Chains A and B, each alone.
Chain A
Amino acid sequence: MAEVPIQRHRLENGLRVILSRDPRAPVVAVNLWYDVGSKHEKAGKTGFAHLFEHMMFQGSANVEKGQHFSLIQAAGGTLNASTWLDRTNYYETLPGHELELALWLEADRMASLLPAMTQEKLDNQRDVVKNERRWSVDNQPYGDWDELIQALVYPKGHPYHHSTIGSMEDLSAASLDDVREFFATYYAPNNAVLTIAGDFEADAALDMVRRHFGPIPPNRELPAPPDMTVDPLIGSEVRETKADQVPLPRIYWAHRAPPFGTDEFDALDVAADVLGSGRASRLYASLVREQRLAQDVSVFAFPIVGGASLFTLWATARPGIAPETLEAATLAEVDRLAIDGPTDADLERVRNLHAAHSAGSLERIGERADRLSMYACLFDEPERINSEVARYAAVDAARVSEALRASVRSDNRVTLTYVPAEAAS
């Protein structure tokens, strides 16, 4: 589809509603972004936004524990939710004729989560989340890299200083009072975006939205957004080495970068692809294929909007390759791109890959709804979904060089090196 159609509405209680009709398949996606993520957590409450997301599946006034999942699945739908630094999203994709079921379930928990809350449910989900942390972080090789990186890139007290999964201690301390306060503060219609995409009739869908979400009162006292201010550069080189149960050394490099949504971020996005996307990328060609120093490489700019985002790279050393050798070779490639800029061939390659990936992502109605919610929630501009490819293609060689020179430099770099525990001792 060449252009994603967009209709914007706003209910009196402040709920932003985005409709994007596409009747090609008889399926519909419902997607809610709440403007609350781990950056909103208070000291001593790390991990709470995510734990709260779990509590949203524990029932509400008219829905029993587990029933949100079972009703959607029995209707032939899929669903889930996720929490990240800036936001929390909830989503269902289901047959179009069951649209109202998803809206009703989302509205019921937005309106009336608290009557269903119990200590037993909180204790159960606290255990589940602790096991999620053990599984994805504590028992996983290199599993705590993003937690360590965030703590080193952002100063203590900054909302991005801690990870979304949070600490075991803080999870243990979470109480039902915290659930009540968090719900009352952030889970209000005027702090959310609701997107419906796919097979539906606009008038009927809007009626359903008004009926189910219209009566939910707004929070008239939404707190001011957290202060995300941070110096654009770290100001010095930061190095940390961690001995872990890993067979091969791996190095993570992270830099403060301009936030998602800026022209500079787009330029870094292009830089990341020139360096790390595909077998013709600079780092794969040089480190993996030609010099054979690395088992794998990856480059990624975090799409986050507060103060500073993150431009990260990682590379896993082949056996017998010293981390210092891998580091020197990697940074040489990055510096070469910063100084010389990408070639026309580089830009043609990443632009065509990006256009194909973007078309591939938007084939999925759930992904389309999620991006509409994202652009509406973060920038109040869902129309950005239709300029993604053009923004990317507008980045020229000079902008790539400038963005790299401004952010990807040694006095703005955290270097985290994992080494095998046996080798370290």
Chain B
Amino acid sequence: MTVARPPAGAPRPYRFPDFVRHRLPNGLGVWLVPLPERELVSVHLLTDAGAAAEDEPSAGVAALTAQLLVTGTRRLDAAAFAETTERLGIEVSSESSWDSARAGFTALGSKLGDGLDLLAEMLRTPRLDEGEFDRLKAERLNDILQARADPGRLADESFLREVYAPDSPYGRLSAGTPESVESLTVQAVRDYHASRYAPDVADVVVAGAIEPDAALDAVERHLGDWSGTGPGHRTLEPRQRGGRRVVLVDRPGSVQSELRVGHLGINRHHPRYFPAMVMAALLGGVFGSRLNRRLREELGYTYGARCSFDPRRAPGPFTASAAVQTEVTVDAIRELIGQLERIGQATPDDDELTDVRNFLVGVFPLRFETTSGIAAALEPLAIYDLPDDYWHTYRSHLEAVTPQDVLDAARELVRPDEALILLTGDAGRVRDELEAAELGPLEVIPAS
């Protein structure tokens, strides 16, 4: 640079909003975050009824139950429930992940009481109608069809199936497989709701334009006499399949290969959680990360290359990914693997680490601009029992990560020698070169 960047002014401190916690006599956790000068309020109701709470033969029942909740209550059928909520300007959502089911909405603050009323009615006395169940089940099966036509989603799904051992639930999407979804009945959903949705395994987060005492009153009024107990999640111990392998999912006519390279990652309580987050950002989480710089900005092989962990209660995957033009498929894999090897060979430069750490620390307030962003930030505290001061100490945890911490995390958590290399692409154009490259035993399977 011939002219230096202008100096920064004096930083204004930012503090994650204070919140108060209550536990109602029925076991429901209540998290209240008053945010002055806000128009909106967000309500997120979490229940330990995600895919980790379902029995494996009924894989997908958690997702279908969550989706079916918004199709009405005993009092209001699907059309009436949609009409009633939307006329208040409220779009109720309900979905599930591995570790929880979440129902909620964001609305103008004046609508909090009405919204809570309808949300509680939906959770406690859902209609769980057979006709609507049949419809959502069919839509889920159609979505799987659609996903398999999309090379990126096909690669994601195939990667999970191939990277985990066959008896590991994480080897599938949390919403289930075509076979498991096909076998589900409305009775299974009703049973799941009756046995899993209960206040002692639930938390409600209310963030935004609220007065805490009034909000607590409203929660107590609508959910205080909710009763029952739920078993919560089972303990998963996912295992990885064997060592380095190459799996090519043949998708004839593809002009790009979708690459997914990785292996088992970490759980949410891993002792190296913060070094792992910094290391993943440096390797493939920011624009100037090693993967994106090399594969995009130097070689032009892709529109973007990245990597990330997916920490859950049990170890989710670590995945590096890029969509590369078919002609450079093998070289792109070599380059990508090369970066996974290099991160474990030496400590990063101080400058490189400082920039990434500063990004993660500095971007902190931007993540909490919206009421729904703040409500979502409290979810991991509720789900994973993180300490109440988690966000207040978050930045100091990041700032404490040293170059040696990054190297140690990389050596333990990035293992190219045992990585699965999965790609969707045109086998007719890439198979021979892949075989000759000897990146590992090659298996070619059709896109189903």
Contact = CB atoms under 8 A, between A and B. Distances in A.
B436 interface: no
Contact of B9 (A24, A97, A127, A279): A97
A109 to B, nearest CB: 13
B6 A100 contact: yes
A345 B145 contact: no
A97 B11 contact: yes
Contact of B2 (A27, A62, A73, A199): A62
A158 interface: no
A25 B364 contact: no
Given A95-B11, A131-B323, A199-B12, A360 B361 contact: no
A289 B323 contact: no
A103 B9 CA distance: 13
A66 B149 contact: no
B202 interface: no
A390 B14 CA distance: 34
A422 B363 CA distance: 48
Interface stretch (B48-56, B87-95, B216-224, B407-415): B87-95
Contact of B5 (A104, A128, A246): A104
A66 B358 contact: no
Nearest to B362: A76
Interface residues of A, number: 81
Given A74-B355, A138-B255, A345-B87, A25 B365 contact: yes
A349 B83 contact: yes
Interface string A16-39: 000000001111000000000000
A104 B39 contact: no
B8 A97 contact: yes
Contacts of A71: 5
Contact of A1 (B39, B139, B323, B372): B39
Interface string B69-110: 010000000110011001111110000000000000011100
Contacts of B1: 62-64, 67
B139 A295 contact: yes
B13 interface: yes
B117 interface: no
B107 to A, nearest CB: 6
Contacts of B145: 247-248, 319
A140 B151 CA distance: 7
A104 B12 contact: no
Contacts of A295: 139, 142-143, 146
B350 interface: no
A227 interface: no
Residue from B8, B14, B293, B355 having most chain A Cβ neighbours under 10 A: B8
Nearest to A296: B139
B138 interface: yes
Contacts, number: 219
A94 interface: yes
Nearest to A278: B86
Contacts of A134: 255-256, 323, 325
A129 B372 CA distance: 34
Nearest to A80: B287
B82 to A, nearest CB: 4
Contacts of A100: 6-9
A135 interface: yes
Contacts of A136: 303
B296 interface: yes
B8 A74 contact: no
A352 B363 contact: no
B358 A74 contact: yes
Interface size class of B (residues with CB under 8 A): 35 or more
A104 B135 CA distance: 55
Given A95-B362, A285-B82, A70 B40 contact: no
Contacts of B372: 360
Interface in B367-386: 368-372
Nearest to B135: A292
Interface string B4-36: 011111111110000000000000000000000
B interface: dominant SS: mixed
Contact of B149 (A76, A138, A141, A289): A141
Nearest to B424: A139
Interface stretch (A41-49, A118-126, A172-180, A258-266): A118-126
A75 interface: yes
B359 A355 contact: no
B360 to A, nearest CB: 8
Contacts of B293: 66
B154 to A, nearest CB: 10
Contacts of A131: 256, 300-303, 323-325
B301 A349 contact: no
B366 interface: yes
B86 A352 contact: yes
A281 to B, nearest CB: 8
B135 A73 contact: no
A74, A93, A245 — which one has the most chain B CB atoms within 10 A of its CB? A74
Contacts of B70: 279
A363 interface: yes
A318 B138 contact: yes
B149 A26 contact: no
A90 interface: no
Interface in A109-164: 123-132, 134-136, 138-141
Contact of A73 (B82, B151, B288): B288
A98 interface: yes
Interface string A253-292: 0000000000000000000000000111000010011001
Contacts of A360: 40, 106, 370, 372
B8 A98 contact: yes
B342 interface: no
Contacts of B14: 25-26
A332 interface: no
B86 A353 contact: yes
A96 B38 CA distance: 20
A191 to B, nearest CB: 24
A349 B365 contact: no
A73 B255 contact: no
Given A134-B323, A139-B323, A140-B150, 17 more contacts: A62-B1, A67-B1, A69-B287, A71-B5, A76-B358, A76-B363, A95-B362, A98-B9, A108-B3, A127-B325, A129-B303, A135-B323, A141-B150, A279-B82, A318-B142, A352-B87, A365-B369
21 contacts: A1-B39, A24-B37, A25-B14, A25-B365, A26-B13, A61-B3, A66-B287, A73-B363, A75-B362, A94-B362, A98-B8, A124-B300, A128-B302, A129-B303, A131-B301, A199-B12, A279-B78, A279-B82, A349-B86, A352-B89, A364-B369
8 closest residue pairs by CB, A with B:
A76-B362, A127-B300, A352-B89, A279-B82, A97-B9, A26-B12, A280-B82, A74-B355
Interface of B: 1-3, 5-14, 37-40, 70, 78-79, 82-83, 86-91, 106-108, 132, 135, 138-139, 142-143, 145-146, 148-151, 253-256, 286-288, 293, 296-303, 323-325, 354-356, 358-359, 361-366, 368-372
